[in-house]
Amino acid sequence: MYKVGDEESVAFLYAKDRVGLAPVDEIRIGDARSEWIHRYRALGERKEVKGSWWYDGEYNNVLFPTPAITRTGASTTLGCEFRLRIDSNNHGIRLVRTTDKEDNRQLASVFVDGVRVKERKWFAVDFDRTFRGIRWFDSSFEIPANYTRGKRTIQVRVELESSKTGRWEDYGYTAYEYR
């Protein structure tokens, strides 16, 4: 199925004179200190989950033997909430959640400081099946600046509405700010 040297692609670079998106905070689920610092809390029942898989791409253990990435996470029945440190001069936040492709079709509402982000809901795309342990997936959610501008911290609450398994799974969150 895969043969080294048969790949083709096109890439476009749209550059600016300054950085437009930069990481500002990260939560490692399963790390007690990180969860405490960010006041991470599961909504509903929490079950610890562990994954040792690969991301899609060149180093997915198909083309090249590569060690799996092992992470601990949480599987909850209702979602979660946590606090993020951000720069008050941001122009919005991109929230990236690391999750498992096997637990997909997850739909959730996101709240920032108690206010629902009305522009859209968080939906993790559908995957029919996974292949050879390639299961890590990063799902992004854009939080517009009107929810974050002028704030140094935000309280995020993710409320699960539906999923294939009836659970919300997360292994970590990284917040990037638009500058």
The pTM score is 0.86
How many structural domains are present in the chain?
A: 1
The CATH number for 71's domain is 2.60.120.260
| Within-domain flag for 8 | no
pLDDT digits (tens, 9 = 90+) for 58-80: 777 777 788 999 999 999 999 99
Low-confidence ranges of the chain (pLDDT < 70): 1-7, 19, 126-130
Task: Classify the phi-psi angles of 138: left when phi > 0, otherwise alpha if psi is within -120 to 50, otherwise beta.
Answer: beta
Select from 18, 54, 60, 21 the least CA-distant residue to 142: 21
Phi, psi (rounded to 5 degrees) for 113: 50, 40
Residue written as token pair 């092992």: 70
- pLDDT recorded at residue 60: 74
| Within-domain flag for 6 | no
| Within-domain flag for 42 | yes
**Three-state SS for 35?**
helix
- pLDDT recorded at residue 134: 82
